[in-house]
Amino acid sequence: MEDCKTKISTLEEELDQMALQLADRECEAIELREKLESLEKRKQSDDTMNQLASRFQENMEKLQAIVDQHQTNFSSTPSRMSASASSSPRGCNPDEVMVPFHGNISITRASMRRILIAARLGKTEKDLNNTVTTILDAFYSPAELAEYSRTGKVCLTKPGTLPKKKFPEDILNAISGFITSRWSTWHEGAVVEEATVLAAVGHGLLGCHTNTRKRKLRHPDLNVDDILNEELTRANDSLGM
């Protein structure tokens, strides 16, 4: 029985490591794809394009190899693997390096890793909402998010209330584009519409407002932002972040 528990624990650790490595590889693929698109727009030389295309293909092949090995792990205990760290300037934390998110929007590598892991967990409405929440956390703190609404309009069900700040349009478009362009790849042909993503953003902002208001009522003398950030940190730690 103890041997079974040990084997299960080892397998869970290995799967966590592979999820991190898979997210890192996808980060690299996204960066390379952005470089390719930029070079196409600038009409750079064919040699440079071919070099980047080759690197992109190499990373995609590595990514596929990781996925294949990940599937094999369900039938046998894998050898221990560690996530490879991407090169970064000396003295710079690799997790704080900015990577392309979508369009002209960038986020930290650590945030991108968390987003990619969350996005691959499932394709239900709840999974989509969790993915959007993870993305929102990459841009603002919970207390800051509580000050926004998706449209910036007055709530019709609450007469007399002041409108919240409108969520930044460029970030909103980036979130929608990021998810709609990749959801079918993550979940075998499943499609998510832009309207569904926008609704999930609105749901996430409302959730932040509700949670902040409740915590202010329960802890009037405490910094609500600190409380929410501590909870977010604990949630990230549970994912191995």
- pLDDT, tens digit, for every residue of 8-33? 778 777 777 787 777 878 877 787 77
- pLDDT, tens digit, for every residue of 36-56? 777 777 765 666 666 777 777
Is the pLDDT assigned to residue 64 strictly greater than 60? yes
- pLDDT, tens digit, for every residue of 85-111? 344 455 568 888 899 999 999 999 999
Is the pLDDT assigned to residue 115 strictly greater than 90? yes
User: Which pLDDT value is given to residue 228?
Assistant: 53
The two three-digit tokens of residue 223, written as one number: 């910094």
What does pTM read for this prediction?
0.61
The model's confidence at residue 230, banded by pLDDT at 50, 70 and 90, is low
User: Which pLDDT value is given to residue 80?
Assistant: 32
CB atoms within 10 A of CB 236: 15
83/31: higher pLDDT: 31
User: Which pLDDT value is given to residue 79?
Assistant: 36
In the chain, pLDDT over 70 holds for what percent of residues? 73
Kindly report the backbone phi and psi dihedral angles of residue 153, in degrees, each rounded to the nearest multiple of 5, phi listed first: -95, 160
Is the pLDDT assigned to residue 122 strictly greater than 70? yes
In the chain, pLDDT over 90 holds for what percent of residues? 31
Mean pLDDT, rounded, of the chain: 77
User: Which pLDDT value is given to residue 193?
Assistant: 94
